[in-house]
Structure 1
């Protein structure tokens, strides 16, 4: 196979660049050019946008996620590269990928790409300093993503330490999401899940987290009420996902329960506060923290920093108002009980239950209370958590109540997160609105916001759905 000069030039430019280097390959075929790129691991991340209508692809067996019908995502951390592969018509693929690219390549110099695109070179990065508001899992993930790009980050929080809100919960669950028709929420959750696992694995590789102690992926069982069983099984048949992603389990198959459910073999748990601390440590000297520093408005920070990123849950929309945005708050109480018999997998459905193996406790939760009048835990909420768990696992022994905790979830009108530039406020970004899925959205939010700040946003239709937005008329 002959490689045109554009390949050699593109690869040399990638090796010499910082940040993100975006390549468009509108004639991917079986990925010969892409494979030729991957012989080293440079500093800059390679974002390879590829289009093919080849009926049988000889791709390596890599973990992948389907972002949209026809659009697949592969992440190769060993090469600091990601492949966004459109399988279908060239016209549709080229319409899917929008925004600036650094290089255009094709496999055969004598056969030009299906459509010549004008190469758009993004503006040079001028971001040197960023202010991030909120020292929870959202803000710490954004801070780390920016520090990786060489940006000096100033992190502000009104509390005296990080992870005092929902990120201060003792433990939380993360797993992909399944809906009939494979909604945008479900497709995005799979992308978010990939980013979460990769982020945790990277921090573990640096010695900042311990798998099995701070996080793990033992699998996740989501029980399904009896009256929804038939419909959920039909949904699984229609989606036809591989069992490595999700499979149906019968009552009593994994754990004693009268309910069947969805089992996600890769589903996991993490102690959010440990994740936040690891993010902050990984930032190194590029991070300056400012605790006990409430932010009343953005005017001063916008003058002092190149960009400002709002990651403070329900307060985000107060600091960065968006016309037509409808955002609510939901109180959630979790209950910590002594663990008599610990389930080896994460449980959810009627109630979630998580028991880290090195602890003597398990967490049940969480309530869903509106309006949010105060954050005082109540005995009634503990009783509700226990009752929901007992409904799914009536024979499971529970120990005495040890503690309880309340936090607030920020929920946008469509239950999708709000990640990206704030309309009408140049240089201001958001990563917020995570609802009850913050552990799925945080790492994805950091990645997306950093790309926006560095002038390298990936624009595909699915990700457009989670830009900060108002309710459509």
Structure 2
């Protein structure tokens, strides 16, 4: 299709002129490059262009080649994602052009899994378009346009399906795509698609300057927000984010579970954001040799090898390893086989935090050595207060990224988070000196060069003790020796230890998103007994990013992008099912569904 036929039905670029956000959905994965070029050529373009493209996995087989006539093809090729299913978010032109690429075997089923407000749709219609048209109606913004390719035999069916879903179709012409505009004469959807939060000023308070808070500050600042970043410590990354190194990797299960899909999306997005920081000359102390995971048992190694083959994961994502292969690439003897993540590794959490703050320093005001004891909302503005009752900051949006304290400040239902004490150990010269890369499994071992070898960590639930324990060091060494047997023969001496406290939930999933209005939910408990997440009342301007457990490095960046997308009303960077699995309101929702909350029990 020529560019004139592609864009004329959508009246581009006129419709995006002077708009903040314009979202174009394309199920053919053919519009991105010409649309990006047209956006670049338009001086009155929208501030942010979102292109949501849906494609099958084979669309990732070959990136754009040097022969592609588009001058932007090389930039897209450099950002080309790994060939794995799920949602990949790629950013160009300093983040002002965003390609959200959703990869799945069934294009139209994949589209239905997303959540967004669209201004224009370009699509190839299936033989039976009724489900597709209902999906378009769920996503369509006011006046959204549709340009659909359909065979002559299926055009009447498509016109009827569009009309019944609230679209007005233009007069038919069999030699041109079918064109329609969203103009419902009646209510056609249960929930409105995403809209930006009602904030007069683009200002936010972020409480907590660890991995979560620094990432949120960075992603909001990239969209032009001014951030007041508050932390009780003198500098960022002092709690669990202050460990000398942390490992990052996706997870692979025998089935492609919600946890595996979420961690895959978070891992790949974190890599892109870290590379952008490194391209801006920030040193993150990231290792480059990959990461090896040792199976708990030989049967697990065999089962995961079979799963890797069944899912056809590419070798640059994960590789199954026999014991011999794993020992060879690790540089030390390993107890069992496992799997190797070429893009995994270790990184300095504190360096990541510092780089994110520095990169957005013009838009971040840091309030360190400041503890927030109370937050308050007057219906329009959030205010944060210290122990003496003094106001620390005010803004229309507030994000709780302060781990253990977030649930208290928000007053969340049912005490959903717990504290886990983690003690790590740094070893001097030992049997692991030849180790070439981080190794994880029952524990973890990270080579620190001249700094020794980091091993850990204990997992002590609800243990508040901050003291270093010799028993903790022995536990760490013993656990790692179960993966790397030579450590039992030459454990080395303990150079240092550190205790930090992780925040976890009962389902071990993080709390990321907009917080529910629990008072309103309790009042309407009977009506909400069969509720879905989108049915719950939400507190305007209150968001959370906490309870990351031991996966803060992997989850923090995607969490920040999801929250920034929620605030701005942009397409979500993951499938809605995954966002619901980490919704801070999920425990409240479960209690409502099980009848554990009733209006009579509300105070």
Q: TM-score, normalised by structure 1?
A: 0.88
Residue by residue, what CA displacement relative to the aligned partner does 1:77-121 show, whole Å, maximum 9, x if unpaired?
A: 468432333545565344323331233335895737965573879
3-state SS, counterpart of residue 428 of structure 1: strand
Aligned to 2:428: 338
Q: Cα–Cα, structure 1 residues 54 and 147, in superposed 2: closer, same or farther, change >3 Å?
A: closer
Q: Distance in 2 between matches of 1:21 and 1:325?
A: 40
User: RMSD across aligned C-alpha pairs, in angstroms?
Assistant: 3.0
Question: Which residue in the other structure is 2:230 paired with?
Answer: 156
Partner of 2:467 in structure 1? Answer: 376
Q: 1:441 aligns with which of 522, 538, 555?
A: 555
Alignment length (residue pairs): 462
Aligned in 2, Cα 1:244/1:64: closer, same or farther, shift over 3 Å?
closer
Query: CA offset at residue 225 of structure 1?
Result: 2.7
- Change beyond 3 A, Cα 1:261–1:44: farther
The equivalent of 2:390 in structure 1 is: none
Once the two structures are overlaid, the 10-residue window that deviates more, 116-125 or 362-371, is: 116-125
Change (3 A) 1:87 1:208: closer
2:510 and 2:426 map into 1 onto residues whose CA distance is 28
Alignment counterpart, residue 565 of structure 2, candidates 434, 451, 460: 451
Match of 1:23 in 2: 24
The alpha carbon displacement at 1:178 in A equals 0.9
Q: 1:160 to 1:188 in 2, by over 3 A?
A: same
Distance in 2, Cα, partners of 1:298 & 1:86 = 41
Give the secondary structure class of the aligned counterpart of 1:309: strand
* More displaced 10-residue stretch of structure 1: 197-206 or 45-54: 45-54
Decide which of 159, 177, 182 is 1:118's aligned counterpart: 182
- Aligned position for 1:461: 577
Q: Tell me the CA shift for residue 197 of structure 1.
A: 1.0
| More moved, 259-268 vs 47-56 | 47-56
* 1:231 match: 303
Following TM superposition, by how much is the alpha carbon of 1:392 offset from its aligned partner in structure 2, in angstroms? 1.6
- Distance, in Å, in 2 between the alignment partners of 1:208 and 1:56 is 33
**Residues 74/422 of structure 1: CA separation in 2 closer, same or farther (3 Å cut):** closer
Q: Residues 22 and 394 from structure 1, CA distance in 2 versus in 1: closer, same or farther, beyond 3 angstroms?
A: same
Could you tell me how far 1:222 is from its partner in structure 2? 0.7
Contact 1:46 1:81 in 2 (8 A): yes
1:186 aligns with 2:263: no
Counterpart in the other structure of 2:316: 244
Of the candidates 314, 318, 329, which is equivalent to residue 408 of structure 2? 318
For 1:430 and 1:76, how far apart are their aligned partners in 2? 24
Partner of 2:209: 135
Q: 2: distance between equivalents of 1:434 and 1:184?
A: 16
SS of 1:451's partner is helix
Map 1:16-415 to 2 at 5 A: 18=20, 21-25=22-26, 28-29=27-28, 31-39=29-37, 44-51=47-54, 60=63, 62-64=80-82, 66=84, 71-73=86-88, 75=90, 77=92, 80-85=97-102, 87=104, 92-106=109-123, 111=149, 115=162, 118=182, 122=195, 126-210=200-284, 214-227=285-298, 228-253=300-325, 254-255=329-330, 256-299=333-376, 302-303=382-383, 304-324=394-414, 326-340=416-430, 341-357=433-449, 359-396=450-487, 397-415=490-508
Do the aligned partners of 2:228 and 2:364 also contact (CA within 8 Å) in 1? yes
The question of whether the paired residues in 1 share the 8 Å contact of 2:206 and 2:230 is answered with yes
SS of 2:100's equivalent in the other structure is: strand
Aligned 8 A contact 2:209 2:231 in 1 = yes
Structure 2 CA distance, aligned partners of 1:53 and 1:285? Answer: 41
How far does the alpha carbon of each residue in 1:131-157 deviate from its partner, in whole angstroms, 9 at most, with x for none?
000010100000111111111100111
Aligned counterparts of 1:56 and 1:197: Cα–Cα separation in 2: 21
Larger RCO (alpha carbons 8 Å, 6+ apart):
1
Provide the rounded CA distance (Å) in 1 between the counterparts of 2:270 and 2:34.
Answer: 28
Q: Deviation string for 1:408-455 (max 9, x for gaps)?
A: 111112211111100012210001111110000111111111111122
Structure-1 separation of matches of 2:274 and 2:106: 36
Post-superposition shift, 1:293? 1.2
Task: Give the deviation of 1:240 after TM superposition.
Answer: 3.0
Q: In structure 2, how many angstroms separate the alpha carbons of the residues matched to 1:104 and 1:165?
A: 46
Question: Structure 1 regions of 5+ residues with no counterpart?
Answer: none
Shift of 1:400: 2.1
CA contact (8 A) 2:57 2:84 kept: no
- Paired with 1:460 and 1:292, the residues of 2 have a C-alpha distance of 37
Mapped contact 2:510–2:545 kept (Cα < 8 A):
yes
CA contact (8 A) 2:228 2:365 kept: yes
Q: 1:176 to 1:150 in 2, by over 3 A?
A: same
3-state secondary structure, aligned to 2:274: helix
Q: Whose radius of gyration is greater, 1 or 2? A: 2
